[in-house]
Structure 1
Amino acid sequence: MCTGECSKFVAIPLYVLAAVSVICNIMLFFPDFKTEYAAKDSSGSDQITEEVKYMGGLIGGGILVLIPAIHIHLTSGKNCCANRCGMFLSIGFAAVGVAGAVYSLIIAGLGLTNGPLCCTGTVANCKWGTPFMNSSGSYLTDKDLWKTCVKPENVVEFNVGLFSTLLVAAGIELILCVIQMVNGLFGCICGTCASKKS
């Protein structure tokens, strides 16, 4: 496989993974698919999990991966970037993608470890907090503990599903960006298919 084809192989999945990361991060702002939790409650307390506000999926797995994906994709065609200089630049862009993927990976990991911000007690009289903060992620395997959160409804399943998706997406983005860094190095040293055909 030539370096240009490899770039296309890397870029196309990066587009999809960046879109998935952005969508997951946006959805995390609306637990139980309700907009009311995006605002503070009557006492001024936050109702959104802290890690969601760090926007690991939107900034890290989304924007910081999408920009490199565009340049990496350009190196696969017969245009201004399909040359040694373009492949050299793709190493730098891929490094930005690695940084974004690592950021998204860390935030998703923290989101899973700390658990969601939720209201515990009774529905009529509940207190907002992070009941699983000191569980070191052990709550993930004990579904009976998930009933501790009464509001938003099913918030634990919601957060676990979306943060897990972000974690997997960021892991794959990281692998693809590292592959492109190696591919870019070979393209920089050996040239691209486009330059050999011309």
Structure 2
Amino acid sequence: MCTGGCAKCLGITLIPLAVLCTLANILLFFPGGKVVENNQNITDEVWYFGGILGSGVLMIFPALVFLGLKNNDCCGCCGNESCGKRFAMFSSIIFAAVGVLGAGYCFVVSAVALNRGPKCDDGKDWLYPFQDGNYLGNHTIWTMCKSPDTIVPWHLTLFALLLVMSGIQAVLCGIQVVNGLFGTICGDCKCCGCCGVSNRCFSLITLCADNSCICT
């Protein structure tokens, strides 16, 4: 697969993941699916906006850049037909690094939230009744949270989804870093134009079955 085509596939995958991470973070503002009267009763890690900023907003920019790489024009750059495409692939590495940082931020926040557990009412006050993730393997102590109802599975499910999806995003952006390096060094497999239209193609050209030119 061409480096531009590979980047497009990665971009297509990143966009729905970014949307899902944003929705998951928004749902966390409604513990147990309910509106709390005091915002201070919402788990602290929700306010770090890991899913909204890290895996959401910061992920949209690299995703859009990846989507546009396949159709990026590679001609007319200082007399070198390939340098435009190579520069675009190089810039994608920078955006991919931004995506890795955003996904990494969401991953860390989610991991901390899962280990700490939710903030809930134990019947006396709003606090964090669990310590060091002890509730993860012991469902019987979930009853320590009296309200909101189902706050523990709600917290666990959404932050676990954020953890998994941000991890996938980081891997995909890491793949684009490698893909971008190949594209920067070797160029994309297809050059703009066609041999019968432009005489500025590379010296070594192979015709595909569909008569498009592949530059090497």
Fold similarity call, TM over 0.5:
yes
* 1:10 and 2:10 matched: yes
Return the structure number with greater relative CO, CA threshold 8 A, min gap 6: 1
- Counterparts of 2:116 and 2:94 in 1: how far apart (Å)? 33
- Counterparts of 1:116 and 1:98 in 2: how far apart (Å)? 27
State the 4+ residue runs in structure 1 displaced beyond 6 angstroms: none
**Contact 2:121 2:146 (8 Å CA) reproduced:** yes
* 1:56 and 2:11 matched: no
Unaligned runs of 5+ residues in structure 2 are 75-83, 195-216
1:87 deviation in Å? 0.5
* 1:104 and 2:106 matched: yes
- Counterparts of 1:47 and 1:195 in 2: how far apart (Å)? 57
1:196 deviation in Å? 6.2
**Residue 89 of structure 1: aligned partner:** 91
Matches within 5 A, 1:41-52: 46-52=40-46
Count of residues in Structure 1 that have an aligned counterpart in Structure 2: 186
Question: Normalization by structure 1: what TM-score?
Answer: 0.89
Q: What is the root-mean-square deviation in Å for CA atoms of aligned residues?
A: 1.7
Q: Report the structure number with the largest CA radius of gyration.
A: 2
Structure 1 or 2: larger helix share? 1
Letter in 2 for 1:73: L
**Contact 1:17 1:169 (8 Å CA) reproduced:** yes
What SS does the corresponding residue of 2:71 show, helix, strand or coil? coil
**Residue 181 of structure 2: aligned partner:** 185
**Residue 25 of structure 1: aligned partner:** 25
* 1:74 and 2:68 matched: yes
Instruction: Give the direction of change, closer, same or farther, for the CA distance of 1:102–1:72 in structure 2 (3 Å limit).
Output: same
- Counterparts of 2:19 and 2:139 in 1: how far apart (Å)? 30
Residues 157-192 of structure 1: per-residue CA shift (max 9 Å, x gap): 000000000000000000000000000111111111
Letter in 2 for 1:76: K
**Contact 1:113 1:136 (8 Å CA) reproduced:** yes
- Counterparts of 1:197 and 1:191 in 2: how far apart (Å)? 15
Unaligned runs of 5+ residues in structure 1 are 41-45
What SS does the corresponding residue of 1:22 show, helix, strand or coil? helix
**Contact 2:2 2:188 (8 Å CA) reproduced:** yes
